[in-house]
Amino acid sequence: MKKCSNIAIKNMHIRLLKKNDDLNQIFELCKQNMMIGENYATTYDIWDFQYNKNPLNKSWNSVVEHEEQILGHIGLYPLPLRGPQKFFLAGSISNGVLSESIRNKLLPFKDKKTFSIIPLIDNCASSAFGDGIDIVFVHSTIHPMIWKALKYKNIDVTCKTTYHTGLKGLYQKYHNLLCKKRVIFNGVLGIIFSAILTLTRVLPMTVTRCSHFLTKNSNRDISICKFDVFDNNFKCFFDQFNDANKTLVTYDRNIEYLNWKFSQTQFKKFKININNTLVGYLVLQKNNETNDFDVIDYIILNKHLNETQFIFNQLSLTEGMSISFTHFLSCEYSESIYNELNKQGITLSLNPAHMFSKKQKITKAPIYFKINNMTNSPIMLDERSWFISPIFFTPSYFLRP
Amino acid sequence: MNEQKIKSIMSTILKISEDEIHAESSPDNIKTWDSLQHMNLILGLEQSFGITFDDEEIIQLLSYEIILAIINEKVQ
């Protein structure tokens, strides 16, 4: 790739991606500028899946160009949303990348000049808005002030994580934690202390699990079965879920989009039946770094929310899974799931005295959206009604090594 | 007073000495003044002066001279 250290503004411009553009220039740019490691850079497979093979076969992409060299890119792929009584088509921003050489270069923007990232995002979003996209949605590590400058609204979302595992998984978690953080605990010491810490968790785990088993309704028959494809049997369940949650703004879980989103083989999909009726589903993805499973999506009919503990118990005990669930707390429904799982989930602490502690790390999720002002019917969204799960995020996130 | 405070914040965030900052200082002549540091600078100024900038101002604050003028106006 040609190195550009001194670029004159007059030779640099922002435009939409053309069919004959060399995508390798973008992939190379991603490789060189990916802060979390080259392995996480966008590849042709990710690009094709995300931008070409989505259910709309459509995406919006803008680039910064200088003398036929692409030095920046941002993309939007379709994200189906369901709001109060209404379906929206949103565009989700992904793959924002800018060559270091142009990060302090200014380009025209609304009769002024500003940093190229701002007109680049604006160009891409305007193109999608022009095509009738209702909302642009973004979960991004790009500086919050940039979204403020572009008039994006912040969604007030708090993240908390619960872990669900059996004794073996718990022991392994402690062993990894000790050996990673404290080199002194390698070897026999690591085994002894991991066992001690695991035992300190046995009592609270047993108490919560027993109390749940004792209070559960013995008349119901729950089954948790693996499946591969979302078929027509899900339609009735989705209708029931949507009817019971009319005020939520969430991913429009329809068969076409779900089968696209979860078509890759690394997902484990489970459907939850109670008395032979489909009442929920759970999608997990294997996390190669920790050998755990991450929850990508979980919904269950509201009247069965109290079965959530049992479902995660079953998976951690009978399937031997260690499950990590990052909850995006923004609405009553997400808080209900979290509250159920927090009763049963374990907290990892290296201090044995914290055996009953439920203290958790709380972080704010950088999630923003902007509504298309050009649409005929104005969209009003209550920010407390967003129900967000990892299903919202870029499909490329799912294809990581 | 404001001048000194602004220079101090700019110097810390843009990693340059205060002596290098003058009226025309901008991303055109300060290499470290990129989009990320610009946003950090805006945040730093907001926190230090207890003010907030609107979206237009975030884009507009692209030289020491303009920053000083807008802050003087806001803290008056």
Confidence check: pLDDT of A219 > 90: no
Contact call for A112 and B43, based on CB within 8 A = no
What residues of chain B lie within 8 A of the CB of A120, using their CB?
none
pLDDT at A34: 72
Of A98, A104, A114, the CB nearest to B59: A114
Q: Using an 8 Å Cβ cutoff, are B65 and B23 in contact? A: yes
The domains of chain A, with CATH numbers, are 9-154+367-398 (3.40.630.30), 159-165+220-364 (3.40.630.30)
Q: Nearest CA to CA, how far is A101 from chain B (Å)?
A: 10
Q: Do B36 and A144 touch (CB under 8 A)?
A: no
> B39 in contact with A at a CB cutoff of 8 Å?
yes
Q: Would you tell me which residues 49-78 of chain A have a C-beta closer than 8 angstroms to some C-beta of chain B?
A: none
Which of A98, A106, A110 is nearest residue B27 as measured by Cβ atoms?
A: A106
State pLDDT tens for residues A377-399: 666 778 789 999 999 986 555 55
pLDDT-derived band at A313 (thresholds 50, 70, 90) equals: confident
Tell me which of B26, B39, B52, B53 to substitute to probe the interface with A (most A C-beta atoms closer than 10 Å). B39
Q: What is the mean pLDDT of chain A?
A: 84
Which range among A238-242, A303-307, A372-376 shows the weakest confidence by mean pLDDT? Answer: A372-376
How many beta-carbon pairs under 8 angstroms link A with B? 48
Distances (CA, A) of A319 to A87, A165, A312, A336, B41: 37, 10, 10, 25, 51
Which residues, numbered 91 to 130 in chain A, qualify as contacts with chain B under a Cβ-Cβ cut-off of 8 Å?
98, 103-106, 109-110, 112-118
Contacting residues of B for A113, CB less than 8 Å apart:
62
What is the average per-residue pLDDT within B36-54? 95
- What average pLDDT does range A163-168 have in this prediction? 78
ipTM over 0.90: no
The CA–CA distances, whole Å, from B63 to A269, B21, B23, B31, B57 equal 54, 10, 7, 13, 12
Nearest to A368 by CA among A211, A151, A168, A212: A151
Inter-chain residue contact B60 with A112, CB threshold 8 Å? yes
Contact A69, A4 (CB under 8 A): yes
Closest-CA residue of B relative to A104 is: B34
The whole-angstrom separation of Cα A342 and Cα A134 is: 35
| pLDDT for the residue numbered A347 | 60
> Residues 129..158 of A with a Cβ closer than 8 Å to B: which?
143-146, 148-151
Chain A residue nearest residue B33, CA to CA:
A104
Question: CB atoms < 10 A from the CB of A329, how many?
Answer: 18
φ, ψ of residue A188 to 5 degrees: the values are: -60, -40
How far is residue A252's CA from residue A88's CA, in Å, rounded to a whole number? 9
Rounded to an integer, the average pLDDT of A230-247 is 95
The reported pTM is: 0.84
Q: Are A118 and A343 in contact (CB under 8 A)?
A: no
Distance, CA of B63 to chain centre: 7
User: Would the CB atoms of A149 and B43 count as touching at under 8 Å?
Assistant: no
A401 to each of A46, A215, A271, A295, how far by Cα in Å?
A: 11, 42, 26, 17
A193-197, A370-374, B18-22: which has the minimum mean pLDDT?
Answer: A193-197
Q: Looking at residue A284, what is its pLDDT?
A: 93
**Given this model, what pLDDT does residue A337 score?**
95
Q: How many Å separate Cα A233 from the centre of its chain? A: 25
Evaluate if residue A5 carries a pLDDT over 50.
Answer: no
Q: Do A106 and B62 count as a contact with CB atoms less than 8 A apart?
A: yes
Distance CA A6, CA A156 (A): 40
Domains and CATH numbers, chain B: 2-75 (1.10.1200.10)
H or E stretch including A103? Answer: none
Give residue A382's pLDDT: 80
With a pLDDT cut of 90, the percent of chain A lying above it is 49
pLDDT-based confidence at residue A208 (cuts at 50, 70, 90): low
Question: Smallest Cβ distance to B55: which of A106, A143, A151?
Answer: A151
Residues 6+ apart with CB under 8 A from B75: B2, B49, B51
